[in-house]
Amino acid sequence: MDFSQSAEHQLDPFPHYERMRETAPVFYDEQSGSWHVFRYHDVQRALSDYATFSSHMGGDDVEGTGQLFASSLIATDPPRHRQLRSLVTQAFTPKAVDALAPRIAGLTDELLEGIVGRGSADLIQELAYPLPVIVISELMGIPAEDRERFKHWSDVIVSQTRTGSASESHYAANMEMTEYFLALIDQRRSRPGQDLISTLLGAEIDGQKLSVPELLGFCALLLVAGNETTTNLIGNAVLCLTEHPGTMDRLLKEPALLPQTIEEVLRFRSPVQSMYRSTVTETTLGDELIPAGAPVVAWIGSANRDEVQFQRAAEFDVDRSQNRHLAFGHGIHFCLGAPLARLEARIALEALLSRLPGLSLDQGTHLERMESTIIYGLKALPVTWQPA
């Protein structure tokens, strides 16, 4: 069974997840040597039990993206993880994020101003892609003229998750990105600003500064987590709403429902479909004995459709309460940028609903999913509306 090709590239992998939850909830893939986990409680445990399921990126992947992420938050375990996380927590507190709201709203209006009179557009290209890129670029102090390169590198990192290996062009992009961030770090070291990289350069853990690999890891993580996931949250939300047009009318009448709707989008079409772990010790998951040192893929996209955890799990329901989805992870690795992603999505959707009346999918559109085993998002989202 070519497991890597069976579900991840499909627009609708959810029937596959359902079959796996029923027939092989903890599945060993002989071809890749990985264990795949599909049920909610097993996924939750794999994501949060760091003593058994390590986030550390070890092994032979010492080149390319793996090296960039190896010293980042996402790939470290306690106690180092707690130390690193404490450095950036202040930049992503709800209060700090709320202070960004006026800027995000202004950017959203600027981006929509160019298309409102058209009556049709690709919303990924016109809004969902540029908005998060600009926001995270400004937080990191990336010059406006470098944003296109910034986005390109992010796309390269995500495309590498398709096969788990990197081509020559991937390595070239990774090298270019590393050199760029090294130069930016040197520049901020001599001329600090008000940006996140300058803050990290000045930070200390127990009297010690961050190492260069740790700084690079932060940059790479912020690059991807700061824009790819938010782009896809916005795109996935619009897709869900256009599939259920009555929901848009309701949200216009009941705007207070929007945060709850975003949580249901996160559950129903999670921007991050899977996360990787490796076993520290031999352990039992489900009815399977997993040896120490085994790679484990925790399928968040499947856990969030688990019928045991969610009533009518296959239905998109904006009235769903107690929505304990795992879209942002669970435990110590819960996504630091969750408040920012939620805020950007809320502001973007409020603007779309009010400024693009009659928003619907362009008829005859063939939607394609991004080529990634981890990220769930659309390559393009052609929509139409009634221009003013």
pLDDT band at 175 (very low <50, low <70, confident <90, very high): confident
Question: Stretch 18-46: mean pLDDT, rounded?
Answer: 97
**For residue 163, pLDDT beyond 60:** no
Global pTM exceeds 0.85: yes
Enumerate residues 6+ apart whose C-beta is below 8 A from 134.
107, 147
Q: Assign residue 149 the CATH number of its domain.
A: 1.10.630.10
Helix or strand (DSSP H, E) at 236? helix 212-243
Q: Which domain holds residue 208?
A: 3-384
Amino acid at 138: E
Give 128's DSSP letter: I
Enumerate residues 6+ apart whose C-beta is below 8 A from 43.
37, 298, 299, 300, 302, 303, 326
pLDDT tens column, 101-125:
999 999 999 999 999 999 999 999 9
Which residue, among 196, 214, 197, 216, has the nearest Cα to 205 in the 3D structure? 214
pLDDT band at 61 (very low <50, low <70, confident <90, very high): very low
**For residue 345, pLDDT beyond 50:** yes
**For residue 250, pLDDT beyond 70:** yes
**For residue 170, pLDDT beyond 80:** no
| Number of structural domains in the chain | 1
**For residue 365, pLDDT beyond 50:** yes
HSE of 381, CA atoms in CB hemisphere, 13 A: 26
**For residue 66, pLDDT beyond 70:** no
pLDDT band at 6 (very low <50, low <70, confident <90, very high): very low
- CA dihedral (237, 239, 242, 248) in degrees, to 10, reads 0
Compare 337 and 305 and report the one with higher pLDDT.
Answer: 305
